[in-house]
Homo-oligomer: A and B are copies of this chain.
Amino acid sequence: MDIETFVQRSLGEWRSQRSAHHLAFAHFEEVRSTITIEPLTIDEPGVLELCKRYDVGPEIVVSPFKMSWEGESDWDEDEVMAGSTILVPVPDSATTGKLLREQGYAETMEAVGSYCLGEDGTFVLTTSYDRAAAEEKIWFATPNLRFRVSLIKTSDGKGVTTASFSSEVRRNPIP
């Protein structure tokens, strides 16, 4: 599995079920959402802007994509959570690299994560923020079923405050 194959397999529209476990209080949160992952070209303004910001030559970028989501949480059913972000992989070997993104997961700011593709095809992304760190593991059970375990860690990386699990079922092929 390389990053191009991983992004290629991720393209499309997915119906997601996410369960978050807030560990200190044994609290559950449930979110249903639709996630859309679309390919971008390297000359897309948003891609070039991220490259510029992080001083990365666009020629070393691989398979940039846009991820959009729209969902509702059981915490506040009236609140529709929607957003989108541009993600730009910058490989530094066949299975490792950086992932630039417009908006991070744990905090709504730009972020650079480090990814690594394991032998079993699992994509692992770690990102450090000011006050937290995030770790995401994503893998395919079948071509149409993707799982994701996301951890929000304390900034020293030692404690885990929230663990969440998503099951993503493909709804439509590439939009």
Contacts and interface: CB of A to CB of B under 8 A. Distances in A.
A2 interface: no
Contacts of A169: 23
Interface string A119-146: 1100000000000000000000110010
Interface stretch (A5-13, A39-47, A89-97, A156-164): A156-164
A78 to B, nearest CB: 19
Interface in A93-125: 118-120
Given A17-B26, A28-B19, A167-B23, A145 B118 contact: no
A26 B21 contact: no
Given A28-B17, A118-B120, A147 B149 contact: yes
Contacts of A28: 17, 19, 30
Contact of A160 (B26, B142, B151, B159): B142
A165 interface: yes
A142 B159 contact: yes
Given A17-B28, A28-B17, A119-B119, A163 B167 contact: yes
Given A119-B119, A120-B118, A151-B141, A19 B158 contact: no
Contacts of A158: 142
A165 B142 contact: no
Interchain residue pairs A-B with the least CB separation, the first 7: A165-B165, A19-B19, A21-B167, A17-B21, A163-B167, A28-B30, A141-B160
